[in-house]
């Protein structure tokens, strides 16, 4: 590159007047200098005999040489800039590929965690259900305690607290403990009327007698619904599993696992209900992902009618299959009705929890379960209403 001048691609004609002619007839094309080199001048290395024009001394051969050198260097700069752009693109592509690889690796690890913890939870729940008695009741009480704590945290969130006054924190903790005691009292007394009535009275008195604050109806309503939703409804699973002790005819049970008396109507009913709920959620997810186009309800935009129909078909299919396999003492019509009831309870419980989370402005109720990114309440919402429906169905049909 010329050391003292920068020549651009666009040239501006500079007229000059020859002394031997009356009018200018030629124009010399000179490069237009950029601003940062505007104070520079073209100078000859030796004294020139050429005429001077406007204080500038010209050497035509040197000017042409300078222009050629600058243009060649500009072409070199353009090629270098293109090479740099290509290198930048290659670097960007490599970075994008590495980020995609990292995302794929992260999704794989999350999927592995989901599978591992899902299988662990499934096997644990299956063992607890088969054990029954106090093992089943204490495990249910622990799940109820965690679910109640997540519910009262949702009530205290900004999305819900903006439109109402949440209950005091100490009262939320007391209610969580009361909810956890309800399944235990149900197994001990055989019914839950006394427990629910006593809990409602204690909570109402605590709200009315709190110091320094004016009690609000929103506090009472949210607390009472929490006792009903997280404490009262799960107790029906205890009544279904431990209350219906009539043996199932035509099905033997290993002596090491309790013998014939362990294979009861309550055990078969709860196994059929749990498997029906799992089938409903699984088929609804797969059907909605493959064929879902029509939204089901605005509370949960991802749910579709196509997924709901797939979930209903899956729930009925699994219910009928297990009823025949486990010697369920019901005709086919009653078995199908039982599957429909399990499906409705599952969907209604899921939508109820979605409504609470939507008002709270959160996606998940918690992050307790590794790999799933969700809380206990997100995993058990489909079972909350189904227990009461399943127990009522079995009792009304005299099984």
Q: Are residues 152 and 274 in the same domain?
A: no
How much is the pLDDT for 312?
Answer: 95
Same domain? For 206 and 325 the reply is no
> Is 228 part of a structural domain of the chain?
yes
Per-residue pLDDT, 71: 52
Q: Tens of pLDDT along 290-340?
A: 888 888 888 888 888 999 999 999 999 999 999 888 877 788 899 999 999
Question: Per residue in 236-245, pLDDT tens?
Answer: 999 999 888 8
What are the tens digits of pLDDT across the range 192-202?
777 788 888 88
pLDDT (0 to 100) of residue 228: 92
Q: What is the pLDDT averaged over residues 19-23?
A: 48
Q: What is the mean pLDDT of residues 53-74?
A: 52
Position 206 pLDDT exceeds 80: yes
Domain match, 226 and 318 both: no
Round to whole Å and give the CA distance between 147 and 383: 12
Average pLDDT score over residue span 33-55: 45
The per-residue DSSP string of 228-265 comes to IIIIITTHHHHIIIII--PBPTT----GGGT-GGGSBH
Position 399 scores a pLDDT of 58
Do residues 237 and 315 both lie within one domain? no
For position 161, what pLDDT does the model report?
63
Q: Is the pLDDT of residue 160 over 60?
A: yes
Q: What's the Cα-to-Cα distance from 79 to each of 3, 5, 92, rounded to whole Å? A: 21, 21, 20
Q: Is 341 in contact with 385 (CB distance < 8 Å)?
A: no
Confidence class for position 183, pLDDT limits 50, 70, 90: very high
**208 and 329 share one domain:** no
Q: Which pLDDT score, from 0 to 100, does residue 208 have?
A: 83
Write the CB contacts of 2 (distance below 8 Å, at least 6 apart in sequence).
Answer: 66, 69, 70
Considering the chain, what is the average pLDDT of its residues?
A: 76
Instruction: Provide the pLDDT confidence category of residue 388 given band limits of 50, 70 and 90.
Output: very high
Q: Are residues 329 and 285 in the same domain?
A: yes
Query: Does residue 50 surpass a pLDDT of 80?
Result: no
Q: How large is the average pLDDT for residues 361-377?
A: 69
The predicted pLDDT at position 6 comes to 43
Per-residue pLDDT, 324: 86
Q: Are residues 224 and 300 in the same domain?
A: no
Confidence of residue 159 (pLDDT cuts 50, 70, 90): low
Q: What is the DSSP letter of 35?
A: G
* pLDDT at residue 54 tops 70: no
Residue-level pLDDT at 89:
72
**pLDDT tens, residue by residue, 118-141:** 777 778 888 888 888 899 999 999
Handedness of CA 208, 214, 215, 217 (dihedral sign): positive
DSSP summary character for residue 33? P
Full-model pTM = 0.70
pLDDT of residue 176 exceeding 80: yes
Q: Is residue 147 part of a domain?
A: yes
Residues 286 and 200 in one domain: no
Question: Do 391 and 281 reside in the same domain of the chain?
Answer: yes
In a domain, 101, yes or no: no
Rounded CA gap, 322 and 318, in Å? Answer: 6
Q: Which domain holds residue 281?
A: 263-398
Share of the chain above pLDDT 90, in %: 27
Residue 381 placed within a domain: yes
**Which of 142-146, 259-263, 294-298 has maximum average pLDDT?**
142-146
Which residues, listed in sequence order, are joined to residue 27 by a DSSP beta bridge? 15
Tell me, yes or no, whether 190 and 282 share the same domain. no
Indicate if the pLDDT at residue 347 is higher than 70. yes
Do 360 and 277 sit in the same domain of this protein? yes
Contacts of 257 (CB under 8 A, 6+ apart): 130
- Chain centre to alpha carbon of residue 362: 10
- Do 169 and 139 share a domain, yes or no? yes
Give the domain-ending residue among 183, 209, 243: 243
pLDDT tens sequence across 102-112: 676 666 666 67
Q: Name the pLDDT band for 24 (thresholds 50, 70, 90).
A: very low
Number of domains in the chain: 2
Angle between helices 133-155 and 376-384 (to 10 degrees): 110
Determine, yes or no, domain membership for 274: yes
pLDDT at 348 over 70: yes
């Amino acid at each position: 590159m010329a050391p003292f001048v920068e020549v651009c691609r666009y040239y501006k004609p500079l007229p000059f007047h020859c002394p031997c002619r009356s009018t200018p007839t030629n124009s010399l094309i000179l490069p237009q200098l950029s601003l940062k080199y505007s104070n520079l001048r073209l100078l000859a290395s030796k004294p020139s005999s050429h005429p001077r024009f406007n204080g500038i001394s010209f050497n035509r051969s040197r000017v042409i040489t300078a222009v050629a050198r600058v243009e060649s260097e500009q072409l070199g700069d353009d090629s270098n800039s293109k090479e740099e752009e290509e290198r930048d693109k290659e670097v960007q592509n490599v970075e994008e590929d590495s980020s995609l690889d990292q995302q794929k690796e992260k999704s794989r690890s999350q999927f592995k965690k989901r599978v591992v913890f899902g299988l662990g939870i499934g096997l644990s729940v299956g063992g607890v259900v088969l054990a029954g008695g106090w093992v089943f009741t204490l495990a249910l009480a622990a799940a109820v305690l965690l679910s109640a704590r997540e519910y009262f945290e949702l009530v205290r969130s900004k999305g819900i607290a903006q439109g109402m006054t949440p209950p005091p924190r100490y009262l939320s903790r007391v209610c969580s403990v009361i909810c956890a005691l309800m399944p235990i009292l149900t197994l001990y007394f055989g019914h839950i009327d006394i427990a629910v009535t006593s809990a409602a009275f204690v909570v109402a008195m605590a709200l009315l007698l709190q110091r320094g604050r004016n009690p609000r109806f929103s506090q009472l309503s949210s607390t009472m619904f929490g006792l009903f939703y997280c404490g009262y409804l799960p107790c029906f699973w205890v009544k279904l599993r431990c209350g219906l002790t009539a043996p199932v005819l035509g099905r033997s049970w290993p002596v090491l696992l309790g013998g014939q008396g362990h294979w009861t109507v309550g055990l078969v009913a709860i196994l059929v209900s749990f498997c029906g709920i799992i089938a409903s959620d699984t088929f609804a997810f797969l059907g909605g992902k493959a064929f879902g186009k029509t939204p089901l309800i605005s509370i949960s935009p991802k749910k579709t009618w196509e997924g709901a129909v797939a979930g209903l078909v899956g729930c009925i299919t699994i219910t009928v299959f297990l009823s025949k396999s486990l010697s369920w003492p019901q005709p086919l019509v009653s078995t199908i009705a039982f599957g429909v009831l399990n499906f409705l309870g599952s969907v209604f419980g899921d939508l109820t929890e979605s409504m609470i989370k939507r008002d709270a402005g959160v996606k998940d109720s918690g992050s307790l379960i590794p790999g799933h990114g969700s809380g206990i309440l997100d995993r058990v919402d489909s079972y909350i209403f189904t227990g009461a429906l399943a127990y009522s169905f079995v009792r009304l049909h005299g099984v």
